[in-house]
């Protein structure tokens, strides 16, 4: 069973059990997502400040991006529970993905990651931003101010901004004899 950048939208009290119920014993669950990886050139703090200035409250609780080593170290610490690993990868609590019953459902949790750098112009950045759920949570009276501030941040850096991203793949085997309700 495979899910790409969508599993975090499901209720964890249902999603982990439902996924396990559709697998044969020993079957593989694969989850894929893309996460930001710390890069000093990304101006992350400035983008967060712009959001706080023009759409207060929306960026509260945002944690700074982590480096890949930190992400993978956290995976190792949580490997006994696939849902804890996925919650950590997705931002540790940001989507509340932990299910205490997941260890009874899945074992052999593995994570692989590939990091790449993206360079975007202001227009490219804003085009991407307009496809995110965050964009739709900003009021129409605030969106033009947020976009203008984001454009200014990029232009002050010579017209492009660099982001580091990681494609993260989690796999977990359905536990043989696991309890699936």
Tell me the per-residue pLDDT of 34-62, one tens digit each, with 9 for 90 and over.
999 998 888 888 998 899 899 888 877 67
Q: What is the mean pLDDT of the chain?
A: 90
Q: Is pLDDT of 77 > 80?
A: yes
**pLDDT tens string 134-167:** 888 898 889 999 999 999 999 999 999 999 999 9
| Residue 137 resides in a domain | yes
Q: What is the pLDDT of residue 158?
A: 96
Q: Is pLDDT of 111 > 80?
A: yes
| Residue 180 resides in a domain | no
CATH value at residue 138: 3.40.50.150
Q: What is the pLDDT of residue 2?
A: 81
| Residue 108 resides in a domain | yes
Number of domains composing the chain: 1
| Residue 90 resides in a domain | yes
Instruction: Tell me the C-alpha to C-alpha distance, in Å, between residue 155 and each of 35, 119, 126, 161, 167.
Output: 24, 13, 13, 9, 27
Q: Is pLDDT of 129 > 60?
A: yes
Q: What is the pLDDT of residue 7?
A: 82
pLDDT category of residue 22 using cuts at 50, 70 and 90: very high
| Residue 36 resides in a domain | yes
Query: Of 111, 114, 113, 115, whose CA–CA distance to 29 is shortest?
Result: 111
| Residue 95 resides in a domain | yes
Q: What is the pLDDT of residue 179?
A: 58
Q: What is the pLDDT of residue 3?
A: 80
One-character DSSP codes across 104-168? HHEEEEEEEEEEEEEEEEHHHHHHHHTTSHHHHHS-HHHHHHHHHHHHHHHHTTTSEEEEEEEEE
Q: Supply the Cα-derived Rg of the chain in whole angstroms.
A: 18
Q: What is the pLDDT of residue 53?
A: 92
| Residue 181 resides in a domain | no
| Residue 94 resides in a domain | yes
Longest CA–CA span in the chain (Å) reads 58
The least confident of 51-60, 80-89, 109-118 is 51-60
**Residue-range definition of the domain harbouring residue 67:** 2-174
């Amino acid at each position: 069973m495979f899910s790409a950048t969508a599993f975090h939208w499901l209720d964890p009290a249902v999603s982990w059990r439902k996924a396990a119920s559709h697998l044969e014993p020993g079957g593989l669950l694969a989850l894929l997502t893309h996460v930001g990886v710390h890069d000093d050139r990304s101006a992350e703090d400035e983008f967060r400040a712009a959001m706080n200035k023009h759409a207060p409250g929306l960026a509260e609780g945002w944690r700074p991006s982590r480096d890949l080593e930190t992400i993978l170290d956290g995976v190792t610490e949580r490997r006994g529970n696939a849902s804890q690993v996925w919650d950590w990868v997705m931002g540790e609590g940001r989507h509340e993905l932990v299910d205490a019953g997941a260890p009874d459902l899945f074992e052999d949790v593995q994570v692989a990651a590939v990091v790449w750098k993206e360079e975007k112009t202001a227009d490219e950045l804003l085009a991407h931003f307009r496809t995110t759920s965050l964009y739709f949570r900003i009021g129409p009276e605030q969106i033009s101010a947020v976009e203008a501030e984001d454009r200014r941040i990029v232009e002050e850096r010579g017209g492009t901004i660099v982001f580091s991203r990681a494609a993260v793949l989690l796999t977990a085997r359905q536990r043989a004899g696991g309890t699936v309700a």
